[in-house]
Amino acid sequence: MTETAKPTSPIWCPGCGDFGVMAAIKRALTELKVPAEETVLVGGIGCSGAIHNFMEGYGFHSLHGRLLPTAVGVKLANPKLTVLAIGGDGDGYAIGMGHFVHALKKNAALTYVVMNNETYGLTKGQASPTAPVGFSGNVETPFDATLLAMSIPSSGFVARGFSGAPREAGQLITQAIQFNRERRGFAFVEILSPCVTYNDTYKEWREQVQNVDTVPGYDRTDRTKAIAGCLSTIAAGRIPVGLLFRPSDDRLAPSLDRTLIPTVESAPATAEISLEANRARYEKLLSGLA
């Protein structure tokens, strides 16, 4: 690449929650001093999925719902990079749901940020998998992606923030990226991000969010207790936010990139690939085919 594309101004509607999410992500990357040339932002399809156009770093606009396998590929090619997959609830929980579950299972050290607005904003307000009954003709009971994430045995970092509280959301994303940079595994952060044009939920979410730190007896280090704590918070009419699940380091499943690529020097993107350096290896391979 001889020319670097500069970030453009967001095309989001004034007041869109995605502005708060972008501010939170920028704050986290700045706080952790992640250089732009070591940052890879993989976007989904949707209003939210355009975010990589508005920030510094390498950007990849994936196919709809395919941002996670793309991001896993980037991380495995070069584990030195800080990789963020960023998309919407429609992208990640509808067409991309299979990849979401498998990304949690694979457990590569990258951060997945989902801007959940309970709708398909870009295509003008249809019901997404998190839309409540009655919204835009929806008759299906919505599901909770954080509960799903906590139910996958290899998950080790599950959080939810609110774009109306960008400082707290930024702290969660900072912790998630730090988790990745220590190569501990996959970090999932859902941010409630209202679509002011088709589903303006600012007021109700502001009233409903409850940080799990204020839930009596909540234990984020224990999978069963964390799920139970979230379920009881939801049953009380509240939306659990904060760091929902983070077991102690000795109980974390190994991250895929650490398992497959023990040293960053041996990664496909950084390994020596010249013919001379590899001649003996190639000849050995060829002799095996004779």
Query: Is there binding between residue 117 and Mg ion (CB under 5 A)?
Result: yes
Q: Which of 16, 29, 76, 177 binds ligand SF4 (CB under 6 A)?
A: 16
Q: Which of 136, 197, 232, 270 binds ligand SF4 (CB under 6 A)?
A: 197
Query: Is there binding between residue 88 and Mg ion (CB under 5 A)?
Result: yes
| 66 alpha-carbon distance from chain centroid | 13
- CA–CA separation, 114 vs 188, rounded Å? 8
- Residues 119-138, interacting with ligand TPP (CB under 6 A): 119-123, 128
The CB-of-63 to ligand TPP minimum distance in angstroms stands at 7
Interior CA angle at 39 toward 265 and 15, to 5°?
A: 165
Number of residue whose CB is nearest Mg ion: 88
Query: Is there binding between residue 131 and ligand SF4 (CB under 6 A)?
Result: no
Q: Which of 91, 144, 190, 257 binds ligand TPP (CB under 6 A)?
A: 91
Task: Give residues with Cβ within 8 angstroms of 47, minimum separation 6.
Answer: 12, 16, 18, 88, 121, 122, 195
Q: Which of 43, 121, 170, 240 binds ligand SF4 (CB under 6 A)?
A: 121
E strands of 149-238, at which residues? Answer: 158-162, 187-192, 209-211
Query: Is there binding between residue 20 and ligand TPP (CB under 6 A)?
Result: no
Q: What is the DSSP letter of 15?
A: T
- CA–CA separation, 92 vs 104, rounded Å? 12
Binding site for ligand SF4 (CB under 6 A): 12-13, 16, 18, 47, 117, 121-122, 195-198
